[in-house]
């Protein structure tokens, strides 16, 4: 009887390494899944942050472009009024020049973005806002991706 109990205890002790190994494997898998989930969550947080920044840049840029468009319209009205008040003999100034001169900084900024210039360089060279330069740079990246 005592022999039987001893044999049973020995049998249980032989199972301990297998149970420890199994527990270790389960723990390792749980840690791996947890780590992977944290990495995915961090990636999603970064994507969300980038999307928020892009939206902010788009919003600010649209406000800036709206202001520039209003200024172009004011210039156009002044030219039209000036042409109405001048004698017919004088040569009218084409309104297209206003639009072309307003677009020059953007055209140059697009060119610089296509040649890999950084946002700060584009801002200092073209005289556009930081958000406008970021938008142009972002649009260039999207063109390259597409």
pTM of the model: 0.42
pLDDT at 97 over 70: no
Which of 100, 51, 44 lies closest to 76 in space, CA to CA? 100
- CA-based nearest residue to 137, from 114, 105, 107, 108: 114
Tens of pLDDT, residue by residue over 15-38, are 888 889 999 999 999 999 999 999
Determine the 3-state secondary structure of 93 from DSSP.
Answer: coil
């Amino acid at each position: 009887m005592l022999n039987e109990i001893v044999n049973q205890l020995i049998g249980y002790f032989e199972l301990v390494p297998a149970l420890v190994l199994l527990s270790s494997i389960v723990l390792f898998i749980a840690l791996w899944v947890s780590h992977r989930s944290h990495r995915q969550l961090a990636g999603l947080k970064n994507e969300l942050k980038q999307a928020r920044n892009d939206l902010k840049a788009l919003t600010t840029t649209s406000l800036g472009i709206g202001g520039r468009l209003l200024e172009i319209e004011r210039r156009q009205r002044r030219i039209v009024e000036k042409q109405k008040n001048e004698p017919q003999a004088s040569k009218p100034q084409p309104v297209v020049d206003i639009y072309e001169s307003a677009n020059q900084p953007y055209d140059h900024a697009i060119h610089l973005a296509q040649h890999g210039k950084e946002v700060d360089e584009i801002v200092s060279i073209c005289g556009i806002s930081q958000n406008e330069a970021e938008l142009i740079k972002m649009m260039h990246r999207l063109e390259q991706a597409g």
